[in-house]
Structure 1
Amino acid sequence: MLANDLILFSQVIELGSFSKAAEVNNLTNSVVSKRIAKLEAELGVQLLYRTTRKLTVTEAGSILAMRAKNVQQATLEAINAVSGLGDQIKGHIKMSVPTISGDLLLAEATADFCNQHPGLTVDMSMDNKFVDLVNDGYDLVIRTGHLEDSSLIARHIIDSQWVVCASPRYLKQFGQPQQPIELQQHNCLKYTYQTSGADEWQFKTNNKDYFVKVTGTLATNNASALRKAVLGGHGIGYLPRCLVYPDLCNGELLELFADQVGKKLGVYAVYPFTKHPPNKVKMLVEYIKARYLSMAHYFVS
């Protein structure tokens, strides 16, 4: 038995005819009649006496009509409860962000956004896992790289430039390479949390990209750990500029081949495709983008 058949029956009783109920629901008289007959068959009782001039409600029909009206009211209340909810900035958002951007700006930016909108809570994951938005129930993901799933909406936020860098201590001890190919004679520390490029570093010349295959004593999927190793003078690193920007500014790290490094990845806000994305998600994306742009010098030179 379907709730909408009960609601239709309630409307027939309230309006007094099949034709009026049909008009309200944009149905034909025959469809309304068949659905009421089906309801009677499922219940095993007669609900209405039909004549050419009027409808008469049976005892069973009167009892059901009273209950059916409650179903109709409950349905309206349920619809009203969520009507406009997509436009409100409240509720809950489950999101996943990269650890570098999370530590740098996203955790604080999201907390600020929640403080500006009481009633909104955010669950932010910063474990660098490539999540499945739909199956894992995420409302929003910040990703760096290339988007392959066309069933998702991707909003470009900013580009993230990478840099080759080393500490003055390392360069003093082992010498400074003059061309990227000379990296093959150096201890190159590798960042493995990427789909490609851990041991093939990307450079450009005359608007063409090429790759230098490197080796080194340390490979890790944790960018912060790799930064510390490079700061400690243990090798040369190829890292996101935003991670080491303060170190470059204070001279603790020196940038190599500034005009030749070829790696630049887009940062995207990604969320499931829907005709009506929740306003809270759209507004949070706008707020996050503004924070990224306010720190653009960290990401691109």
Structure 2
Amino acid sequence: MRADDLILFSQVIELGSFSKAAEQNNLTNSVVSKRIARLEEQIGVQLLYRTTRKLTLTEAGKALLHGAKTVKLAAQEAMDSVAGFGENVSGHIKMSVPTISGDLILADAVAEFCDMHPGLSVDMSLDNKFVDLVDGGFDLVIRTGYLEDSSLIARHIIDSQWVVCASPSYIAKHGKPIEPQNLVNHNCLQYAYQTTGASEWEFKGSQGNYIVRVSGSFSTDNATALRKAALGGYGVAYVPRCLVYHDIRNGQLIDIFPELVGKKLGIYAVYPFTRQPPNKVKLLIEHIRTRYLAISHYF
């Protein structure tokens, strides 16, 4: 059974005649008739009754129509997903991205995309707050976390794993926590940008994830400031792994619980609800996703 025959069968029923389906596909009536007959022969049952006035589906035809529509829709979505990839990209994009991703990868990735498309300009704001896309006039937002607004479309890019880390000097002075519950006795540097709460650190347990409520002398909503405080030996930090990937690799920070941290958040490309985003936005999302996946080990 050929997919194009199923699609043609769906079109014949939707348009109500062989001739209209033939016209839409630039075929002759006889070709359409032969292809429907071929479909019936392959299945071994009659799919429709044809009179001079109308087409009527048989029971088998009704059963097949649902599947044929699904094939037609899948084919259309596949075409839509690559539509315009060969066109010139121009105009303007207003976007908002979180500070960590902006510093780590997005500033370079977006500037590179603009360089690839001379007719395009991008206004990129670094903001950890979930901005209002419509009121703010944003075409695209990159966000980490959970989405509740059903009027938005989200394309998953990658998952961001979090870590608990501290500098060798802090551990030498205060000792290394043996288990997550020991953190209540340590100075925990708090990242105020957490949606789950800066003092509520999530860990994996045998009965599921659980929370350890910590405290400390320093809290900030700036990831760079938090990293510097941890590097300075002032406490234990709970941060996205991508922020401190190189620091852990070169030994400036120690990953204290590499298998136990339970926090992992999705990173999403978010845009207002439309059947298809503008081509320039679609291409930028794919470019950004490619750049994220190229350094997926950071996350």
TM > 0.5 fold call: yes
Partner of 2:292: 292
Larger CA deviation: 103-112 vs 121-130: 121-130
Q: Give SS of 1:150's match.
A: coil
Between structure 1 and structure 2, the one with the greater Rg is 1
Q: Which runs of 5 or more structure 1 residues have no equivalent in the other structure? A: 1-83
Deviations 1:102-137, CA, capped at 9 Å, x for gaps: 011101001111111110000000032321001110
Amino acid at match of 2:286: E
Structure 1 CA distance for aligned equivalents of residues 136 and 175 of structure 2: 48
Deviations 1:165-213, CA, capped at 9 Å, x for gaps: 0000000000011000000000001000122231010001126100001
Partner of 1:244: 244
Amino acid at match of 2:107: A
Partner of 1:235: 235
CA contact (8 A) 1:157 1:266 kept: yes
1:88 to 1:150, Cα distance in 2 relative to 1, 3 A: farther
Partner of 1:282: 282
Shift of the alpha carbon at 1:287? Answer: 0.3
Q: CA RMSD in A?
A: 1.1
Structure 2 CA distance for aligned equivalents of residues 204 and 127 of structure 1: 30
Shift of the alpha carbon at 1:232? Answer: 0.3
Shift of the alpha carbon at 1:226? Answer: 0.6
Q: Give SS of 1:153's match.
A: strand
Partner of 1:217: 217
Any runs of at least 4 consecutive aligned residues in structure 1 with deviations exceeding 3 A, and if so which?
none
1:74-153 correspondence to structure 2 within 5 Å: 88-153=88-153
Partner of 2:262: 262
Q: Give SS of 2:193's match.
A: coil
Structure 1 CA distance for aligned equivalents of residues 130 and 224 of structure 2: 18
TM-score by length of 2: 0.70
Partner of 2:11: none
CA contact (8 A) 2:90 2:121 kept: yes
Aligned pair count reads 214
Structure 1 CA distance for aligned equivalents of residues 208 and 145 of structure 2: 20
Amino acid at match of 1:295: I
CA contact (8 A) 2:88 2:117 kept: no
Structure 1 CA distance for aligned equivalents of residues 242 and 127 of structure 2: 18
Q: Which runs of 5 or more structure 2 residues have no equivalent in the other structure? A: 1-83
CA contact (8 A) 1:88 1:279 kept: no
Structure 1 CA distance for aligned equivalents of residues 142 and 207 of structure 2: 29
Shift of the alpha carbon at 1:276? Answer: 3.3
1:188-199 correspondence to structure 2 within 5 Å: 188-199=188-199
Shift of the alpha carbon at 1:88? Answer: 4.5
Deviations 1:126-173, CA, capped at 9 Å, x for gaps: 032321001110000000000111111100000000000000000000
Structure 2 CA distance for aligned equivalents of residues 290 and 228 of structure 1: 29
Deviations 1:243-295, CA, capped at 9 Å, x for gaps: 00000000000001111100000000000011231000000000000000001
